[in-house]
Amino acid sequence: MHRVIAHLDMDAFFASVEQRDNPALRGRPVIVGAPPTQRGVVAAASYEARKFGVRSAMPSVTAGRLCPQGVFVRPRMDRYKEESDLIRQLMAETGAVIEPMSIDEAYLDLSARCQAEDADASLLLCVPIARQLKERIRSERSLTATIGIAANKLLAKIASDFEKPDGLTVVSERDKVQFLRPLPARVLYGVGQVTEQVLLGAGIRTVGDLQDYSGDLRALVGSFGPRLKQFALGEDDRPLELGDEVKSISGEDTFLHDTEDRSVLRACLREQAAEIAGKLKRRHLAAHTIQIKVRYGDFTTLTRQLTVEEPIIEAKDIYRLGCYLLARKRLVSRPLRLLGLGVSNLREPTAQQLILL
């Protein structure tokens, strides 16, 4: 059977829901998050705001400085979840096997519906299904989605990042190597900031450079080398994950003596964030939700969390958002017996904006 995989990614999902629900916001730079006059962070930004450099997890005061005309809107996570469920129903009606990746994206395996004499003809059978799904999302939900279609998850994901917003891109098996050649190496699954810097140090900037590299990539990236070479050639045999994936990653520390010493708490969070980031990178995952957990001397336990639209993977960002939650929610009102940090709502990291080099 020829594999036919589609990757659907909602366009600026949180901000688009706000613009749809409030017509006065349409066409304006919408920033979902706390206002810049308060301590807060950006949960999401519309495309109009992104043009000014506004991004998820950025401090609201920074976003306000970059985009003075930005309209700040408080997040409504229950509303976004409700909308996500309705869109998921539309996906299910295509007959696809679905792997949800986050609140605003999913893989759809349409192989059973799209079989022709060869792989590329099978991919083309998926195009009208994808167009109909996009049109239903537009007409029934008044939102737009971008879809990538390919013979595997790697290429479908890259294709959906290629032409946003409201795009539809097919990467054929015949043309996949040429399609990948000019793209930056960081678009490949598993290439994070550290790996990218190692590759740049070896003169490898593009996927084409990886395709042409005659040396042993294991000398640069260890056991990931052979897999990275396969990805550079557009080869990926990963199946859809349908229920046994990692749900969350967390760590916590119980102090020998209850403490509210800020330096001790910050050092604890830094260590936890570094450990979590390491696990995310080893699993090639990123997180949308950061959670903080505290326990006081009387064993009262509180948890607070924050969800952002763009995925988080770096230790510095996990640490900063953990500190923000502690301060914003005033959780260190008395000495802590335990402090924990965690991430959830996990997915593959989003490639940075594709730039043809």
Element (H, E) at 280: helix 262-282
Cα-to-chain-centroid distance, residue 83: 18
- Is 105 part of the annotated catalytic residue set? yes
Cα-to-chain-centroid distance, residue 72: 22
Give the pair of three-digit tokens for residue 303: 């948890």
Cα torsion angle, 315, 320, 321, 322, sign: positive
Residue 107 near residue 7, CB atoms below 8 Å: yes
- Exactly one of 105, 173, 314, 348 is catalytic; which is it? 105
> What is the signed CA dihedral for 319, 322, 324, 328, rounded to 10 degrees?
-170
Give the pair of three-digit tokens for residue 331: 């959780």
Name the percent of the chain in helix, strand, coil, to the closest 5. Answer: 40, 25, 35
Active site residues: 105
